[in-house]
Structure 1
Amino acid sequence: MTLTMQQHREEVGIKDGLLLVDGQWRQARRETTWSHQHPATGESIGEFAVAGSEDVDEAVRAARRAFDDGPWPHMRAGERARLLNGCAALLREHTDELRALQALDNSVPLSFGSIYAGSVAVAADAFDHHAGWIDKAGGQTFAPYQGGDHLAMTFREPIGVVGAVLPWNAPFLLFAQKVAPALAAGCTVVLKPSEYATFSVLRMVELLVEAGLPQGVINVVTGPGDPTGEALITHEQIDKVSFTGSREVGRRIVEASAGTMKRVSLELGGKSPAIVFPDADVGMAGMTAMGMVTMGLSGQACIAHTRALVHRDVYDEFVAAAEMIAGSVTYGDPFDPGVQACPLINERQLNRVLGYVEKAHEEGARLVTGGDKAGGDLGAGHFVTPTIFADVDNSMSIAQQEIFGPVLSVVPFDDEDSAIGMANDSEYGLGAGVYTADAQRAFRVARRVRSGTVGINGFQVEPHLPFGGFKQSGLGREGGQAAFESYTELKTVMMPLTDEMM
């Protein structure tokens, strides 16, 4: 039976998406809309407004007024914290609804939506965590260095109006990782969700409004990168852009920021290595790496360990464990509790992944399993079977480029130094995994690998930890104190305590 989303669409009650500008939900000025096609079936799920430059301008100016003249930046810490805690409570209350909306957005299965890092719970925790920073936004006082008796001190003040641009693959986590610290710091926000995951984000914004955010503090402009995203990142009244997505768009944001010296936070992907030593639990390492590449997002996650660097002594054992996981992954209806993974988000990404599979064959890698587009009842969707390539050289395209699909490249190594050298031989530096029973080796390797996050015998993203990358994986960090402070400016204030000049 051919897969369909229509019954789920009717049960969830999808409604056309509108823009939120200065507290009002409305259509785009030019009444342009985007029809969202479900990646598992190709069916139309719903329509939402496409914001043009005039809509973006109105949203940014509303956020500017709310920041310059409104109560939010000056609100007492306790009141602002209570509002953010209220946002967290409403997110938790609507967990099932939000998970269903995500399944209609990007086909991420409900089974994966309950796992912490991809769940509504992690978003709610992020709001609670950043609410806790509001009354801790303190500065320092300094003793006089020269001159007369005076007081020197620093303050942290909100940076201003934030343009937040979300990807489609993890809307719950990344919505919270951008919006929560910005609001906690006292900023106002203009949010642009991905055109491939809009309905779940719109509902989260509705809940924030319901929690009592003042008018204009959060605004939403929906639509693709052109025209919506471009108008947002280039707007002269945006003080900071926070973006998660491709390097190409990240470079465009850096270029666009130059004219007004916008602050920028960028998370731009990775080619994360999993380094497996002979004394590791090799079977668990193989299952973990392949699980990250296939389960849930089907490798469409920047942090997925898509490059396994495995010691030759345990190479075959690792490949066998990974192959076992590949053969157990189930696809199909994201509302089916037995389904574990999703399709690729669109036809362009499908063709990209299949193109890398073909390139791997040309460059001499050995296909162990997968590498095909699923057919039969799933033929209308963008499903690619879990894929493992062995005998991969670290210089091959599949070992160097971010494929963003269910493809694991397994590279052999002989000793610790060569493993670290290959791990660092990449333009990216987002994440890494180290698998070993030797604690000294684990810490030694973790310190030498140039990645923003390193997991030892496991990996987890949590809202109170800084997350971001080295090299071309981006600029800045999301999560924890580092994220909160990135939405503030540091101001120095000096005052004489006597009539003597400073």
Structure 2
Amino acid sequence: MTFDLYVDGKWTTSTSDERIDVVNPATEERIGDVPAGSAEDVDLAVAAAKGALEQWSRIEPSARAELVSRLADELERRQDEITDLVVAEVGTPRRVARWAQVGLGIIDLREAATAAEDFAWEEPLRNSLIVREPVGVIGCITPWNYPLHQITAKIGAALVTGCTVVVKASEVAPFTARALAEAVDAVRIPPGVFNLVHGYGPIVGEAIAVHPDIDMVSFTGSNSVGKRILELAAHTVKRVSVELGGKSAAVLLDDLSDEEFAKAVPHTVRACYMNGGQSCNAQTRMVVPRSRLAQAEKLAAAAVAAYAPGDPTDGGTKLGPMVTAAQRERVLGYIRTGVKEGAKLVVGSVDAPARTGFFVEPTVFSEVDPDATIAQEEIFGPVLSIIAYDTVEQAVQIANGTIFGIAGAVWSSDDARAKSVARRLRATQIEVNGGKFNGAAPFGGFKQSGHGREGGAFGLEEFTEIKSLQF
């Protein structure tokens, strides 16, 4: 199959003749290709978005929200089909892909549409009328790990607020974005409001970042690329929202009963290994009382037994492959570094399994120094570090002791105590005693995990400018 670009409401041919192969990470087989788009493709997409902006921004927010709701309905109708695409191009196990990949994408759109109902589009302030208007043309640059959710988290809010978008999806996992564009076309969102350009980051992504008619860039991805986007966007003084890496900590406090501890440890393993550990909010550090280190090791090892690497199309598989061969080698490199630096390898291997596919054995380290490489750098694989503490003050310092701050968790027998410690963690989303995901809550980063927020009304705010009319 060959997929082209979606610009101004039409499927078009790239100005570039180069194609990018897409590989199934579980089979290592080529499954298709997409255009390696050009800066000229970006120009055409931006022109379409700019041309559609005035009319789209004048539509009532409720009407825009209705179209976004219809887009969610269309994705839900095609949920099984899109799930299959995610499994094929990312390697996420199907049981996880359906709800965490495609399901979250649907939730993003529904929450954006719902938030529009009570959003303060305008409000009086003394002799002024405060008006919230769309920022304008938005360049959305998204990664491969959640190829639908990372786009819908941006475009749901952007479209509801009256912005138009140019999306550059990851060339590693582009087929899900194609399916989204098909859904956009099916619900008849006006031409030019949504545009999709495939291609490499240094070409298409950078063309978006520097484009004078792009009013804002919303980027999710690595810290190195995020810094490059910020640098390039500075030349046109455009707004930039970046959601970058993470090294989230789950802090298990010293008052947990054995039963509560036995619940918190496997929950943390699951939160670390979700999507193969290829999640910015993965809880990759488990911070436990030193007196319970051996207990944590035993419980974690038992939990890992359920995560044997397997075929992601199999309904019983919990851990699929890494997305590419390069990502597999990156993760294995970190595991070898952990061993070299003296951490205790409780479960796992420094070598890949002897099988087809970009697999890594699920890994748990213990006795990890808080300053060790594997405790400081984002690995983006199924690697959990158990770190011991002696006092709660030290536990908080360890949790906050990285350049990142995107998510985390606190476990305690006392909800008030857990809440108190959670308030001290410098991260955006903190699970308290296993709290459930809330699609209306803000998501984003502290420190070098980025700035800007997605989700519900907080996402809408990111894509609005504030104007004051004085009377």
TM-score by length of 1: 0.90
With 239-248 and 219-228 compared, the bigger mean Cα shift is at 219-228
The residue identity in structure 2 corresponding to 1:315 is L
Say whether residues 1:85 and 2:69 are aligned partners. yes
The residue identity in structure 2 corresponding to 1:114 is R
Judge conservation of contact 1:22–1:59 (CA < 8 Å) in 2.
yes
Judge conservation of contact 2:255–2:413 (CA < 8 Å) in 1.
yes
The residue identity in structure 2 corresponding to 1:141 is P
2:272 to 284, 293, 303: 293
- Counterpart Cα distance in 1 of 2:139 and 2:86: 22
* 2:106 match: 124
1:429 to 399, 405, 422: 405
* 1:282 match: 261
Judge conservation of contact 2:89–2:323 (CA < 8 Å) in 1.
no
Offset, 1:460: 4.0
Offset, 1:459: 4.7
Say whether residues 1:18 and 2:18 are aligned partners. no
1:182 to 137, 154, 158: 158
Judge conservation of contact 1:122–1:462 (CA < 8 Å) in 2.
no
- Any idea what SS the aligned residue of 2:303 has? helix
Offset, 1:178: 0.5
Judge conservation of contact 1:133–1:184 (CA < 8 Å) in 2.
no
* 2:25 match: 39
Judge conservation of contact 1:277–1:311 (CA < 8 Å) in 2.
yes
- Any idea what SS the aligned residue of 2:275 has? coil
- Counterpart Cα distance in 2 of 1:240 and 1:464: 22
Say whether residues 1:360 and 2:344 are aligned partners. no
Judge conservation of contact 1:161–1:187 (CA < 8 Å) in 2.
yes
- Any idea what SS the aligned residue of 1:259 has? helix
- Counterpart Cα distance in 2 of 1:199 and 1:468: 25
* 1:133 match: 115
Offset, 1:494: 1.1
* 2:357 match: 381
- Any idea what SS the aligned residue of 2:364 has? strand
Judge conservation of contact 1:429–1:452 (CA < 8 Å) in 2.
yes
Can you list the C-alpha shifts for 1:132-151, whole angstroms capped at 9, x where unaligned?
233534222122xxxxxxx3
Q: Summarize the alignment of residues 39-438 of structure 1 with structure 2, pairs less than 5 Å apart.
A: 39-68=25-54, 71-115=55-99, 118-135=100-117, 136-143=119-126, 151-280=127-256, 281-294=260-273, 296-376=274-354, 379-438=355-414
The residue identity in structure 2 corresponding to 1:239 is D
- Counterpart Cα distance in 2 of 1:351 and 1:122: 29
- Any idea what SS the aligned residue of 1:44 has? strand
Offset, 1:53: 0.7
- Any idea what SS the aligned residue of 1:447 has? helix
- Counterpart Cα distance in 2 of 1:274 and 1:375: 28
Judge conservation of contact 2:61–2:161 (CA < 8 Å) in 1.
no
- Any idea what SS the aligned residue of 2:339 has? helix
Can you list the C-alpha shifts for 1:298-343, whole angstroms capped at 9, x where unaligned?
1111111101110022221111111112122133322111111121
Offset, 1:114: 3.2
Can you list the C-alpha shifts for 1:370-429, whole angstroms capped at 9, x where unaligned?
0344434xx231100011111111011011111111111111011110101111111011
1:458 to 434, 453, 459: 434
- Counterpart Cα distance in 2 of 1:301 and 1:283: 24
- Counterpart Cα distance in 2 of 1:461 and 1:133: 17
Offset, 1:453: 1.1
- Any idea what SS the aligned residue of 2:393 has? helix
Judge conservation of contact 1:373–1:383 (CA < 8 Å) in 2.
no
The residue identity in structure 2 corresponding to 1:110 is R
- Counterpart Cα distance in 1 of 2:179 and 2:438: 23
Can you list the C-alpha shifts for 1:124-174, whole angstroms capped at 9, x where unaligned?
22212211233534222122xxxxxxx311100000000001111112322
The residue identity in structure 2 corresponding to 1:490 is I
The residue identity in structure 1 corresponding to 2:261 is V
Compared CA separation, residues 419 and 241, structure 1 to 2 (3 A): same
Compared CA separation, residues 35 and 456, structure 1 to 2 (3 A): same
- Counterpart Cα distance in 1 of 2:111 and 2:368: 42
Judge conservation of contact 2:4–2:34 (CA < 8 Å) in 1.
yes
Cα RMSD for the two superposed structures: 1.4
Give runs of ≥4 in structure 1 deviating > 6 Å. Answer: none
- Counterpart Cα distance in 2 of 1:298 and 1:338: 15
The residue identity in structure 2 corresponding to 1:77 is P
The residue identity in structure 2 corresponding to 1:231 is A
**Structure 2 alignment gaps of length 5 or more:** none
Compared CA separation, residues 418 and 258, structure 1 to 2 (3 A): same
- Any idea what SS the aligned residue of 1:87 has? helix
- Counterpart Cα distance in 2 of 1:98 and 1:490: 37
With 167-176 and 194-203 compared, the bigger mean Cα shift is at 167-176
**Structure 1 alignment gaps of length 5 or more:** 1-14, 144-150, 496-502
Compared CA separation, residues 137 and 17, structure 1 to 2 (3 A): farther
Compared CA separation, residues 132 and 201, structure 1 to 2 (3 A): same
- Counterpart Cα distance in 1 of 2:407 and 2:358: 27
- Any idea what SS the aligned residue of 1:162 has? strand
Bigger CA radius of gyration: 1
Tell me the matched-pair count. 467
- Any idea what SS the aligned residue of 1:133 has? helix
- Counterpart Cα distance in 2 of 1:121 and 1:410: 31
TM-score by length of 2: 0.96
